[in-house]
Amino acid sequence: MRMLINVPETVVADGLRGMAAAHPELVVDPENRLVVRRDAPVPGKVALVSGGGSGHEPLHAGFVGPGMLSAACPGEIFTSPVPDQMVRAAAAVDSGAGVLFVVKNYTGDVLNFEMAAELAEDEGIQVARVVVDDDVAVADSTFTAGRRGTGATLFVEKIAGALADEGAPLERVESVARRVNESSRSFGVALSSVTTPAKGSPIFDLPSGEMELGIGIHGEPGRERRPMMTSGEIADFAVHAVLEDLRPSGPVLVLVNGMGATPLLELYGFTAEVRRVLSERGVSVARTLVGNYVTSLDMAGCSVTLCQVDEEMLRLWDSPVETPALRWGR
């Protein structure tokens, strides 16, 4: 095993200590596993809290800041955070306007955020929850009942976060978050397996010259395994899978997301192929984002997420954001 770590047991805490050193605009608590906007709670503002297993960075901690999340709760590698983390986060950021939990559809995350919402409400905090379930690859998988939550999480957190920063009430922020999720679909592919620090070796076998279509961000199996395809062939397969389900009638946001080990040069080349397929299908593209945003440690591969946007959603997407991983307009 060749990893830039000390020991597997301290990987998450060590990463959070480094994040604290690099980002003084955040309050990072490695012991309690919390990342919070330093200016929280913001008076009169709905707070957004999200979280999930570590290993998907920059999701979620890298999206904490003006225009996106108020706080994030990192769990252990590929493991849900616990309800106590979520309640602490809600209490740290609640201004009295309420808290929106953004939850990826993985069984542990859903159950723990549900329990946290009940506990937070017992403490007088108004909580709403939105579950992200955008992955079209499979109906159910190892970690989920229903579709997995993947790249659309970024769209939900950015667009709902922008609306919250404008001072909208909790009901409206929750509504737009649900609208974004319902308007988004994703499909991912793996060119290699993923290695967790605890295991120290690939968690599944992917023979040389083969690839997995429809992979999950924890290495869950997808639709099928095939011999390696060209970038254009992969784009054809992935985009068609998304469009068969989404069937957009207006412009879309495009996220071409790296799984952690695919060079940006390859991601940009793949983006060109994605745009080609969308053009051939008559789909108008409003904005395109390319990079590593919802990753799976050292997995090689990528995912495509499309979100059909209306004027309000596009305006909120373009609104200023200032987080460690996403920033523009400020």
So which residues are the catalytic ones?
Answer: 56, 218
Task: Identify which of 164, 165, 159, 138 has the alpha carbon closest to the alpha carbon of residue 150.
Answer: 138
| Sheet with 127-132, side-by-side order of all strands | 26-29, 34-37, 71-77, 47-54, 99-104, 127-132
User: What is the length of the chain?
Assistant: 330
Count of helices and strands (H, E) across the chain: 8, 14
Q: Cβ atoms within 10 A of the Cβ of 322, count?
A: 15
Q: Cβ atoms within 10 A of the Cβ of 166, count?
A: 13
- Cα R_g (the chain), whole angstroms: 19
DSSP assignment letter at 8:
G
CA separation (Å) from 147 to 135, 143, 298?
A: 6, 10, 23
Quote the tokens at residue 25: 């605009």
Q: Cβ atoms within 10 A of the Cβ of 145, count?
A: 12
104 pairs with which residues across the strands?
Answer: 132
Contact (Cβ atoms closer than 8 angstroms) between residue 316 and residue 175: no
Q: Can you tell me the distance from the alpha carbon of 217 to that of 290, in angstroms, rounded to the nearest whole number? A: 17
